[in-house]
């Protein structure tokens, strides 16, 4: 099963319309995205909870790391640099944190609220190598922007 991003975007928009609570939005997005594509093995958010620190938020899949500093891993790089991390082979990523031994590739996107403040990163892991494309990054980035602009 490959994700239909148009349908996914419409479904998420309908489910989140009028909601401005970041955690409620994260839970809904994580669930819908996780179940939209067989490539998505772990799907969730790491929230910015202190300067330079991410803590696990709503997710789908096996356990995740509880705390990730901005200085470590793919999620930390996305938060630190404020840009998408598209990693075809996690073993080749310097400082990769192995929260799950099955992860082979990863896509992490910064999440900003309506004021432009970084509030989280959205992390998708796959047990397949090179599972993600720029199309995935663009479509998911558009969905995240649309949903989280409601948060002030």
- Count how many domains the chain has: 1
pLDDT of 1 over the 90 cut? no
* pLDDT tens string 45-81: 999 999 999 999 999 999 889 999 999 999 999 999 9
Q: Given this model, what pLDDT does residue 107 score?
A: 98
48 within 8 A of 79, measured Cβ to Cβ: yes
- Report whether 23 contacts 44 (CB < 8 A): no
- Say which CATH number the domain at 80 has: 3.30.450.40
Assess whether pLDDT exceeds 80 at residue 90: yes
The residue-averaged pLDDT of 18-41 equals 97
How far apart CA 120 and CA 113 sit, in angstroms, is: 9
- Compute the C-alpha angle 58/147/77, nearest 5°: 60
Q: How confident is the model at residue 89 (pLDDT cuts 50, 70, 90)?
A: very high
Res. 131: pLDDT tops 80: yes
Q: Could you list the residue range(s) of the whole structural domain that residue 74 is in?
A: 5-148
Is the whole-model pTM more than 0.85? yes
The C-alpha atoms of residue 20 and residue 120 are separated, in whole angstroms, by: 15
């Amino acid at each position: 099963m490959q994700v239909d991003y148009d349908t996914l975007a419409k479904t998420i928009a309908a489910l989140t319309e009028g909601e401005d609570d970041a955690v409620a939005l994260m839970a809904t997005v994580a669930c819908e995205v996780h179940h939209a594509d067989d490539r998505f093995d772990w799907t969730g958010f790491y929230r910015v909870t202190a300067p330079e620190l991410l803590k696990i938020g709503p997710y789908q899949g096996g356990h995740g790391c509880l705390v990730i500093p901005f200085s470590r891993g793919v999620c930390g790089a996305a938060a630190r640099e404020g840009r998408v991390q598209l990693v075809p082979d996690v073993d080749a990523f310097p400082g990769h944190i192995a929260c799950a031994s099955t992860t082979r590739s990863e896509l992490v996107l910064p999440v900003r609220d309506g004021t432009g403040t970084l509030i989280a990163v959205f992390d998708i892991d796959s047990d397949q190598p090179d599972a993600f494309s720029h199309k995935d990054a663009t479509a998911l980035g558009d969905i995240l922007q649309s949903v989280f602009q409601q948060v002030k």
